[in-house]
Amino acid sequence: MAEAITVASSTTTDTRSGFTNVGPVVDIYAPGTDIVSAWYGATAHGPNGAGKTTLLRILATAMHPTGAR
């Protein structure tokens, strides 16, 4: 599904979390292990990564005359 943003979990040292998704479809990594939160895992890193991706797309659109690439 090309429209989906696939977010994987990273650790505090920017390595892949042991429980996270792997493979060619991961778009972005976001903190999901050893973070100050009430929970960890997909419910922690998913919204974080999706928000970062959205912000990057907005900034890319604003900076590039033909939109985000």
Return averaged pLDDT per consecutive 10 residues of the chain, 69 residues in all.
77 86 80 74 70 79 64
Long-range contacts of 4-13 (CB under 8 A, 24+ apart): 5/49, 5/50, 5/53, 7/45, 7/46, 7/48, 7/49, 7/50, 7/53, 8/45, 8/49, 9/33, 9/40, 9/41, 9/42, 9/44, 9/45, 10/45
Residue 67 has a pLDDT of 58
pTM of the predicted structure, to 2 decimals: 0.59
pLDDT for residue 41: 62
Query: Residue 3 has what pLDDT?
Result: 75
